[in-house]
Amino acid sequence: MKAYLFAASTLFFSLHVSAERTVQECMDVKDNAKRLACYDSFFKKQSLTLPTENTKKAPQKTESLFGLEQQIAARQPNQLNFKLQGKFKRWKKGMKLNTAEGQIWLIKGRHNIYYPIEDPKIIIRKGSLGSYLMNIEGLNTTFKVKRVK
How many Å apart are CA 82 and CA 77, to the nearest integer? 13
At 42-100, the pLDDT tens digits run 777 766 666 566 666 666 666 777 777 777 777 878 888 888 888 888 888 899 988 88
| Whole-number Å distance between alpha carbons of 87 and 91 | 11
pTM of the model as a whole: 0.51
Q: How confident is the model at residue 106 (pLDDT cuts 50, 70, 90)?
A: very high
